[in-house]
Amino acid sequence: MEVVILKSADEVAIYAAKLVGVLLKSEPGAVLGLATGSTPQALYRRLVTNYRDGKISFKNVTSFNLDEYLGVAQDNPQSYRSYMNRELFDLIDIDKQNTFVPDCKDNENPREVGQRYEDRMRLAGGVDLQILGIGGNGHIGFNEPSSSLGSRTRVKTLTRQTLHDNSRLFTKDEFQPKLAMTMGIASIMAARKILLLATGAGKADAVVRMIEGPLTAMCPASILQMHEDATILLDEQAATQLQNRDYYDLAYLQNESLKERFGVFDAD
Ligand code: F6R
């Protein structure tokens, strides 16, 4: 696990966009795993800017989103499909036919939809780079605490904490879904590289449990300790509870100097 602590959320977005840029330069047809929520918004803004500046193209990219609400139509502004269109897809040159969200219509069997999503990811060659956020309770995707560490795409019931955390995004009259279809923990772990972004003081507790706590289904993000190429990008506020901070800073400096000498160098 590589832990990179930067000064601000802005720097986190810039660094993450740089990694996406490096990947797309060497693999223009890469498969991206994408997240929604507040955290990746700054990254998406940066990617859009880089696209407009002619530095990056998504023409041959395929993408798979982590999750989607159940019972919310795709054209509902609250759906994660709408979020992705608004924040990224409508603003870049990606072919929307190659963008996938695990949406499950009312008349569809969630098991079959989940299986289809897994098959589709496999057919695309698997995810090259998975972008993640982290919930205040340590969830990744909508894999809530106690989710099976071996899980695949399926329906999950959202915890009270997640419903509370996300209630800020719904008006009083809007329906807030309590169920979601989400990539499983094993589906996420199958990505060749993982980049988890966490910013703000509200994430500090989940971050220390993910990085320095025991590997446990009660903090699903702690599974990333087992991934062979996971980078955790934090701002100062999200890093305040880390005990091993000195080491992460030292390792970051060493890795950056290796990257300068030898080009991109993945250290975990
Ligand atoms: C979103 C997702 C979630 C979020 C997490 C953090 O697709 O899978 O795991 O990444 O809930 O959300 P924010 O960034 O809004 O704090």
Global confidence as pTM:
0.96
Check residue 158 and report its DSSP letter.
Answer: P
Residue 78 has a CB neighbour count (10 Å cut-off) of 16
Please identify, by atom number, the ligand 1 atom nearest to the C-alpha of residue 200: 16
Which one from 50, 85, 137, 143 is the annotated catalytic residue? Answer: 137
Backbone φ and ψ for 267, nearest 5 degrees, come out as -115, 135
Q: Is 164 among the residues known to form the active site?
A: no
Q: Is 144 among the residues known to form the active site?
A: yes
H helices within the chain, ranges in order? Answer: 9-26, 41-52, 80-87, 110-123, 160-166, 185-189, 204-212, 245-262
- Looking at residue 262, what is its pLDDT? 78
Q: How far is the CA of 261 from the centre of ligand 1 (A)?
A: 35
Please identify, by atom number, the ligand 1 atom nearest to the C-alpha of residue 162: 11
> If you take atom 3 of ligand 1, which residue's CA is the nearest one?
141
Q: How many CA atoms lie within 13 A of 104 on its CB side?
A: 24
- Looking at residue 264, what is its pLDDT? 60
Length of the chain: 268
d(CA 259, CA 222): 27
> If you take atom 4 of ligand 1, which residue's CA is the nearest one?
133
Q: How far is the CA of 180 from the centre of ligand 1 (A)?
A: 12
Q: Could you tell me the CA-to-CA distances from 264 to 5, 19, 94 in Å, in that order?
A: 18, 9, 25
Which residues neighbour 96 within 8 Å (Cβ) at sequence distance 6 or greater?
85, 89
> If you take atom 1 of ligand 1, which residue's CA is the nearest one?
36
Q: Is 137 among the residues known to form the active site?
A: yes
Which one from 67, 68, 103, 235 is the annotated catalytic residue? Answer: 67
Q: How far is the CA of 247 from the centre of ligand 1 (A)?
A: 27
Which residues neighbour 136 within 8 Å (Cβ) at sequence distance 6 or greater?
161, 165, 202, 203, 205, 206
Pocket mutation for ligand 1, best pick of 142, 147, 188, 224 (most atoms within 8 Å of C-beta): 142
Residues of the chain with pLDDT under 50: 266-268
Ligand 1 is surrounded, with C-beta below 6 A, by: 35-39, 66-67, 133-135, 139-142
- Looking at residue 259, what is its pLDDT? 82
Which one from 87, 118, 128, 144 is the annotated catalytic residue? Answer: 144
